[in-house]
Chain A
Amino acid sequence: MNTWSWDYVGEIMPQLLEGLWITVQATILGSLVAFALGLVWALALRSPVRWLTWPVSAVVEFIRNTPLLVQLFFLFFVLPSWGVTFGPLTTGVIGLGLHYSTYTAEVYRAGIDAVPAGQWEAATALSLPRRRTWTAVILPQAFRRVVPALGNYVIAMFKDTPMLSAITVGDMLFQANSIGATTFDYMEPITMVGILFIVISYPTSLLLRALERRLVR
């Protein structure tokens, strides 16, 4: 039995906050990868060319339905043997981004499908080139609708970053474990990590719900 010690919490906080910074970096960079790659998948899946849509949909389904942790191990242990070496954080960002891009692709698809057919027709009537139709008419309208849904995936990704500690990224959980391994007292570090996650993700989700009410109407 041990008792909760606030002094101990105070001692370990700087190290946990260092981990939080890495967690936040991983989330932001991972989101950027997921947003960009998801758009690539979504556009590829809308292509009329079957030999493009079929392999892309197979890859997307495969990545979406297998564990992120195993994908991270794959990237971490296999890429170096192919001569590609990244640091742990970069590997983690690629893994997170790739995994969540298969979810954001669906979000974009829904957003693009929701653009009214009249907008496509108007673009054709104005004989806009295909590229302009996408960049000036369809995508700007689609993006506005998908912001809240993308935000939800950013929160989900934030909550998945502790997995990066398994490939030696120094995130919050990694710091908590290394503190616990030296002091043999895991109670305060891991509890604080859990609390920090709630303290950040709950207000963010409230904010997103408010944004959703404003944007989707």
Chain B
Amino acid sequence: MTGPLWQLFFEGVWITIQLMVYSALLAGTIAFGIGMARTSRHKSVRFLAGVYVEIFRGTSALVLMFWLFFALPLLGWQLAGIWAGTLALGLSYGAYGSEVVRGAIQSVAPAQREAAIALSFSPWQRMRKVILPQAVPEMMPPFNNLLIELLKGTALASLLSIGELTFQAKLARLSTGESAQVYGIILVMYFVIAFLVTRVMRLLERRAKASIGQKPEKAGWFSRKLPVEELETQIAAAGGNR
């Protein structure tokens, strides 16, 4: 591997990170909007938010990306590749994230909400001052998972010829023919980014939990917890055969 190739890779890493950050911001906004809408008092709001989630969770992120890039221009909107990628990733991971937000909001003890009502907080004050501060720390581990899945999803944008890491690897493979080396290197690069993202998210989790006087749970050496943990609690709650 020579200098120019490394430069190619690092340019790719930079675009990958940009894609990840922009889509994560969009996905986060959607996740909170839709997630809170799903706990709304109004049935119609809950229903519409549910439809959104089922549509964007039901289809494939890659198909959505191709639709935005190839089909949408036929309706008169031509999106630049990077925005089609950002929009597709943001819309689909926003749908997954909204389930996390909804679950965390619903896991806050009902007495907290009742207490806020008794203190005659407005619904918005209730959400902002009482519910969310307790729900957000719960969201951190699943958000970490989604962020890693989102990072992995940015590789899809290479199929729209956006110059992110996987696309740069394709260029490097075509010019050198060293497939094993090229793809080996970028896999390691993705792994390093994922590891750093996980570290940052663990830090945020620790802070969020400390702010309400809790300690974070222990995790493995990579420190990323899979949603299977939910399965364990479900099994435990159901009592198993104990």
Contacts and interface: CB of A to CB of B under 8 A. Distances in A.
A61 interface: yes
Contact of B235 (A74, A145, A166, A187): A145
A144 to B, nearest CB: 10
Nearest to B66: A190
B231 A197 contact: no
Contact of B191 (A62, A111, A163, A216): A62
Interface residues of A, number: 58
Interface string A126-170: 000000000000000100011001000000000111110010000
A173 interface: yes
Interface stretch (A28-36, A64-72, A90-98): A64-72
A38 B182 CA distance: 28
Contact of B166 (A69, A149, A186, A191): A69
Interface string A198-212: 100110010000000
Interface residues of B, number: 56
A107 interface: yes
If over half of B's interface residues share one DSSP class (helix, strand or loop), that class is named, otherwise mixed; here it is helix
Contact of A61 (B74, B222, B236, B242): B222
A185 interface: yes
B238 A186 contact: no
If over half of A's interface residues share one DSSP class (helix, strand or loop), that class is named, otherwise mixed; here it is helix
A65 B152 CA distance: 7
Given A61-B221, A70-B155, 16 more contacts: A66-B152, A66-B191, A68-B152, A69-B158, A69-B159, A74-B184, A77-B183, A107-B228, A110-B229, A149-B228, A162-B60, A173-B62, A190-B66, A190-B67, A190-B71, A193-B63
Interface of B: 54-55, 58-64, 66-67, 70-71, 74-76, 148, 151-156, 158-159, 166, 169-170, 173, 179-180, 183-184, 186-187, 190-191, 194-195, 220-222, 224, 226, 228-229, 231-232, 234-236, 238-242
